[in-house]
Amino acid sequence: MSSNIYLLLRQELLLSLFIFILLFIKIGKERSNESILNFINCFLLVNFAAGLFSMSEGAIFNGMFSTNALIVLEKNILNLALLIISMQSYAWLKNHPQIVEFYLLIGTSMLGMFFMISSGNLLMFYLGVEMSTIPLAAAANFNLANRKSSEAAMKLILSSAFSSGILLMGISFLYGTSGTLSFNILTAHLSNTPMQTFAFILLVSGFAFKISAVPFHLWTADVYEGAPVAVTSFLSVVSKAAVLFTFTSILYKVFTPLAILWYSILVVLSIATILIGNLFALRQNNFKRFLAFSSIAQVGFILIGISGSSPEGSTSLVYFVLIYVFSNLAAFGVVSVVSALTNKENISDFKGFYKTNPLLSWVLTISLFSLAGVPPTAGFFGKLFLLMAGAAKDNYGLIIFASLNMVISFFYYLKVVKAIFMEEQDTPIQKLSIPKITQLALYVCVLGIIITGLASWVYDYIHHLSIGI
């Protein structure tokens, strides 16, 4: 039994080991940042490789923690994203005095996300949410000399506290009306009573805060702009993906008796999120704010796929998140390099960027085309499968609305490409010396965009593991 526990907790134990090693590095003799970074990246690579192997399935702690092949895959997508972010942040972190503290915060947040994804109980779920959120508030304020970084941390912790309060209130009402916190038992006690309906709305509102769905998105752009690029990347990709994985699993496994209610909620949220995200992205000049509203719009498409409440909905979510990891991190990777070496983060700064940095220009262009859903990039297939999953409810008006909004998103992504290739300025960004490890991370992202789109077995494998109503 004990050996089975270790297998079920393998990913969590590896991440815990990573955190303890960092603590020993912190209190031990002084080492160079480069040696620490090399060790960390090697460990994260081993951690990702370990997640590729098969693992036992089951539940422990009276069902509070559970895992299966799909959950293992979801956690390993987060491991991959963390590895890429670490490699891309090399230029920023190699001279940073608090490099160990940064990874301690990020690693602890990841551990909370793992427990959240594997939660089989509302209490375990809530503890995972808090464990993943609190370290991120500190990470957002990692540039102590930057006032915007401090503002970002304050806005993140206040909005997170508000959303957590709403989430906890919904959990309390559910417990009060059902007498249980266990997902396996809760389903049988659910009905469309006013109290349970209200509790469910509170629960969805808490989730909507975490994924930046409209109208719960107001904190997102300010936090993204103020936080360091590495933290912004983590918030945009890893944190959001973890919440979406958990949200979908809970909807499909627990709240099936309220399927009609949450379908209606998801439709409204998706329409508002796509429209507002796209319209505000049109007006942005700061690259991190631009990608913030872009990611908000992407969430709207994901909600359409989830609304299909079928194995295809679950498949399209995981598949799109995998594509999103490569696409969004490729864009953030270029912004991270430019920000670390030049302190420039505005779109207008990238005018004439192609003439001095052709490699980075092409990486950024491919990533933006994938985010826009331009064929034959992987983003096209990701959005296609999301819309097809949403069409399972025969809501073709919603699908047409989303498709038309893809045209708007293509326009503002193309605006950035136009600035890079066709516009000029007197003082363009000079040719940048990119660390080899950062170059490797960018190549991985580009290859990921190509392979996940063209290799049909990726989608088929995820579909084999997926769940639905």
* pLDDT given for residue 469 in this prediction: 55
Per-residue pLDDT tens over the stretch 429-438: 888 888 889 8
> Per-residue pLDDT averaged across 203-211, rounded?
90
Encoded tokens for 404: 């038309």
Give me the residue spans of the domains in the chain: 2-465
- Does residue 316 carry a pLDDT above 70? yes
Residue 326: per-residue pLDDT: 94
DSSP string, 342-357: H---BGGGGTTHHHH-
From the CB of residue 131, how many other CB atoms can be counted at a distance below 10 Å?
A: 18
pLDDT exceeds cutoff 60 at 468: no
**Mean of pLDDT values over 138-143:** 82
Only one residue has tokens 């297939």, namely 381
What's residue 445's pLDDT? 93
Written as one letter, the residue type at 291 is L
Q: Which H helix or E strand runs over 58?
A: strand 58-60
- Report the pLDDT value the prediction gives residue 467, as an integer from 0 to 100: 67
Contact in structure between 382 and 315 (CB atoms under 8 Å): no
pLDDT tens by residue, 145-187: 777 778 888 888 888 888 888 999 999 999 988 888 888 888 8
Q: What is the pLDDT, as a whole number, of residue 245?
A: 93
Which residue, 55, 81, 50, 73, is CA-closest to 458?
73
d(CA 123, CA 181): 7
pLDDT by residue (tens digit) across 43-87? Answer: 999 999 988 886 678 888 888 888 888 999 999 999 999 999 999
Q: What average pLDDT score do residues 26-54 get?
A: 86
pLDDT tens, position by position, 337-369: 888 888 888 888 888 888 888 899 999 999 999
**1: confidence class by pLDDT, cuts 50, 70, 90:** very low
User: What's the confidence (pLDDT) of residue 314?
Assistant: 86
With a cut of 90, say whether residue 320 has pLDDT above it: yes
Task: Give the helix ranges, DSSP H, for 51-121.
Answer: 69-88, 90-93, 99-117
Percent of the chain exceeding pLDDT 90 equals 32
Confidence of residue 323 (pLDDT cuts 50, 70, 90): very high
DSSP sequence for 217-271: -TTHHHHHHHS-HHHHHIIIIIIHHHHHHHHHHHHHHT-GGGHHHHHHHHHHHHH
60 backbone dihedrals φ, ψ, rounded to 5°: -135, 170
Q: What is the model's pTM?
A: 0.93
